[in-house]
Structure 1
Amino acid sequence: MEVKYLGDYSWKSNIINDIPNIGRVKIGVIDGPINEYLFEKFVEKRDFSNASNMDMSSIHTAAVCSIINDIAPASEIYIAQVSDKDDVPMPERNILKALQWLVTEKKVNLINMSLGFYENCKGNCNWERRFKKLKEEYKVDVIVSAGNTSEKHPGASTTCPGCSSSAITVGALDSSNKIDTRINLRSIIQEKPEVYANGHVSVKLLNDTWQGISGTSFSAPIITGLISKHYFNLNNDMNYPIALNNLKNLKSYFEDFPDIIEKLEEAITLADKKYPNITSIEKQEILDMLNELMPYTYEKTAL
């Protein structure tokens, strides 16, 4: 499946795309059925919905995975199917089984969840406790869509589990690179969503026609892909000089964002000072700085 991004997608600049993936990041995608004719570049899939047949009309999961693969093609994608059709309820028990499989068996680094429940949750729920444990004990980050407006749920707020403070929650921008008021739900948690990315994409179907789709479901995998793209840049001794050079190259891309330049300068100064005797803790500190940069861009451009 080919993907086109509508509106401003300057994050797909040559500077960003030329940065090599150092190591293969393992990404879990918890979603609906996967149409393998539209997307087949995954390592493994597992069906927790007990679907008897592939739903050929489903494009949601294929679109999510295609976006991740387009941005970070070196990543390994593991698909956990938790429903048998698009736009149907996803049982919580299926999602919990999927999380356990992806984290304990497949040992993924990141999980993309383009799904949610309309519960007007304030974040003090079981999902927060689960995601906090994933982050602290397994070092797994979860990227979640913030949810979309719905006639069935008027007045709803950011969907759960996007309300979790331990998740990276992603909202949608329109084609003018502004927060899309037609898509995004109101937020009863001031910090949510933390980031915004393109909410409108076009995907190429089997008959070679293009179909426009929109929603925070397609914003979330953009952030997942970008985080994956940089995940191991500063976490490998052999390639550390390359990663340091990439940090310096990033400065030209973020020249219009002084706050980001400041963070980059901090990372570069620390890297220059400590290399080659840098400790693993110090490398992780630099990696954390880098992983913050890409999502931060969307937060700034969305204002």
Structure 2
Amino acid sequence: MPELIIDAREAAISSHLSVKRILPFRQRRMVGPFIFMDHAGPTSNFPSEITSMDVLPHPHIGLSTVTYLFSGNVTHRDSLGVEQIIHPGEVNWMTAGKGISHSERFEDPELLEKGGLEMLQTWVALPESVEESDPTFVNYKPDQLPVYTDTGVWMRLIAGNAYGLKNDVSVYSPLFYLHVILETGAKIDLPGEHSERAIYITNGNLELSGRTYSNGQMIVFSKNEAATVRAKTNTELMILGGEPLGERFIWWNFVSSSKERIEQAKNDWKTGKIILPPNDNKEFVPLPENRFKPASSDVPPPEPLS
């Protein structure tokens, strides 16, 4: 049986963009190294000014952001000078390390007419040995991400290794992240390569041990648990996990093994030591005025941005 079921909660990441927030959750802060997960869309109901959905420049430390789209497109700009439009099936993998800022802009005026927007962003915490590494950014194209098909089953490996699939996406600790589509009645076993695993249902219904789970729910499994899920309808899901890294603190957009390092990052953002993207430096998200609370506190920190 699953260890925990997480129901997504609504969160706002810009003035006109709301998401389903899955991680972090009070009873389960991380699954393997994954410490954050947002699901935006599916939506075709856009504001008249689509740019009001933009997520302004904001900082990160101690993590990698992993952005994956089902539909639509988003323009990423960061303090390394990178400007990258991400399209469906691609992966934007940004490692913040010792500090980076980035923005996510919706600049395609035809987005309203192209089938809407649906995207996922996860954060992967970094091992202590690379928390202070130099920031990097890589965009991976669909042909760099292996696909496996079987009767009623389609899956794409976004990162790591699972089901015998591997790719060249650079990761810093043992993990896996998969996009899976199941036709009605199709079954799939939970991958066994990693000790911590979860399934997030983006659309459809899954059956597990006689119980049905639906879109917007994350099923977190016990360590090394064997399980088989069956699609009760055509179902789309993300399977993710890996090996735990140990305790991590999260405050706003900062992740670290050290509370003191987060305090430093707060000051670095306030004083401009984390620079803005050179091609998007006219506005930014200010540091929230909220005192630090560790991840184990009953008082949550400010809501993270993507």
Greater helix content: 1
Q: TM-score, normalised by structure 2?
A: 0.32
Greater strand content: 2
